[in-house]
Amino acid sequence: MNDFQIYFSLGYHHIADLRGIDHILFIAALCLRYQLIDWKKILLLVTAFTIGHSITLALSALNIVHYSSKWIEFLIPVTIVITAVSNVFVKKFTFKSKFPIIYFFALFFGLIHGLGFSNYLKSLLGKDQSIITQLFAFNIGLEAGQLLIVAIIMLISFILVGIFKVNRREYLLFGSAAIFALALQMGMDRIPW
């Protein structure tokens, strides 16, 4: 197995692993407001998150940015809490705004999540001088895992809202409340003092 395959697999399993529940919860909080018919909006949303976390993942892995990992591990659940709370304010599902605030959340909070991913990646890379291929492969693996999570969320949404006719707003509120509760507990467990 070559380096690309190894780091792709590591990136994929890092985000799609249930032990990385914080990243799964964040993706879920971002996507709950959408249905399959909104696939273009979901694509923009996921792209914004990708851009954010790719930037800080690269900057940190290349030792350009330095930070306290305790604070990043605390801030990740904070981003989930804020995103889940933002879902409460969704009253209509028409999404007429070209760039709603959720896209900003995805981009900005992606920067924080990228720093969280980078801890794991840096521990794997060690002092290797040539990390571009590994960094790229890890990031592509993360994206593949992220797309799997989005697909599962969209399938659940389709089944509940589309087939079983669960009220869309109630589904959004219930899902967001569950995500909020889990992320709040996670954040309280990670307070860095």
Give residue-wise pLDDT tens across range 111-137. Answer: 999 998 887 787 777 665 568 888 889
Q: Give the side-chain half-sphere CA count within 13 A for 71.
A: 4
In the predicted model, is pLDDT for residue 168 greater than 60? yes
In whole angstroms, give the CA distance from residue 36 to residue 42.
Answer: 9
DSSP state of 91: -
Q: How many domains does the chain have?
A: 1
Predicted confidence at residue 180, as pLDDT, reads 98
In the predicted model, is pLDDT for residue 186 greater than 60? yes
Q: What is the DSSP string of 170-189?
A: HHHHHHHHHHHHHHHHHHHH
pLDDT, mean over the chain: 91
Q: Give the side-chain half-sphere CA count within 13 A for 65.
A: 19
The range of the structural domain enclosing residue 122 comes to 3-87+98-189
Note whether residue 128 is domain-resident.
Answer: yes
Note whether residue 136 is domain-resident.
Answer: yes
Note whether residue 9 is domain-resident.
Answer: yes
29-43 mean pLDDT: 93
Give the pTM: 0.92
- Rounded to 5 degrees, what angle do the CA atoms 105, 25, 27 make? 50
44-71 mean pLDDT: 91
Nearest alpha carbon to residue 112 among 23, 16, 17: 23
Note whether residue 93 is domain-resident.
Answer: no
